[in-house]
Structure formats: structure tokens, C-alpha cells
């Protein structure tokens, strides 16, 4: 963690704008680091991105997320970043009613 009396922010370069690189970048930036993220792709997301073909959009990566329960890894990350967890609604976006 940066010292409070430090005048210059530490610079961090992250290679890869997938979910891991983006999460790491957000957490480090939240802790006061100067972060830049590089990726070979045009859009961020890595295996959590999408692509389009003939008017259809396809998911590339995971279609389910775990760890959103209190104390779970995603819950802890969202809490540290002071973000609200996205709410799933039964019967929409493939969530069973």
C-alpha cells in the first residue's frame, strides 16, 4: 500500500485486459497506484468478452458467476471497490424463475 506522505504515485503496467487484469487494475487504482492496462485485442474482456457474426452476438467465456454471496470472492472485490452487486431477476437473462 502507498504511504500517505508519498507524493509520487507508483506506476503499474498490466498486460492483459481480461477479467483478471481489469480487476487487478481496478483494485490497484483504488489503492492509489497509477495503473495502465495493455491488451492485444481491440476491446477489453478477454475470455469474458463477446463477438458478433451475421447480426448475432456470442459470449466467449463463462456464463455463470459464483462467489457473489456475502464473504464470496466477487462480493469482497465489489465491496472493496465500493460497487453494488448486480441484481439478477428471476426469469430474465436466462435465470430460472
Q: What is the pLDDT of residue 91?
A: 46
Q: Does residue 6 belong to any structural domain of this protein?
A: no
Q: What is the pLDDT of residue 90?
A: 47
User: What parts of the chain have a pLDDT lower than 70?
Assistant: 1-6, 63, 88-97
Q: CA–CA separation, 42 vs 57, rounded Å?
A: 16
Domain count, the chain: 1
Domain residue limits at 67: 11-80
**Average model confidence (pLDDT) across the chain:** 83
Whose grid coordinates read 478477454? 46
Q: What is the pLDDT of residue 3?
A: 59
Q: What is the pLDDT of residue 17?
A: 95
Cα torsion angle, 97, 75, 10, 17, sign = negative
Strand partners, 14: 37
Q: Does residue 86 belong to any structural domain of this protein?
A: no
Q: CA–CA separation, 79 vs 4, rounded Å?
A: 22
Q: What is the pLDDT of residue 89?
A: 52
Q: What is the pLDDT of residue 5?
A: 61
Q: What is the pLDDT of residue 40?
A: 94
Q: What is the pLDDT of residue 25?
A: 98
Q: Does residue 89 belong to any structural domain of this protein?
A: no
- Put simply, whether the predicted model's pTM sits higher than 0.75 gets the answer no
Amino acid at each position: 500500500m502507498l504511504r500517505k506522505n508519498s507524493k509520487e504515485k507508483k506506476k503499474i503496467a498490466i498486460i492483459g485486459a481480461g477479467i483478471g487484469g481489469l480487476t487487478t487494475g481496478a483494485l490497484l487504482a483504488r489503492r492509489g497506484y497509477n495503473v495502465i492496462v495493455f491488451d492485444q485485442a481491440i476491446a477489453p474482456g478477454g475470455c469474458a468478452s463477446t463477438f458478433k457474426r451475421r447480426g448475432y452476438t456470442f459470449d466467449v467465456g463463462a456464463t455463470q458467476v459464483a462467489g457473489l454471496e456475502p464473504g464470496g470472492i466477487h462480493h469482497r472485490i465489489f465491496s472493496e471497490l465500493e460497487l453494488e452487486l448486480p441484481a439478477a431477476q428471476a426469469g430474465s437473462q436466462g435465470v430460472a424463475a
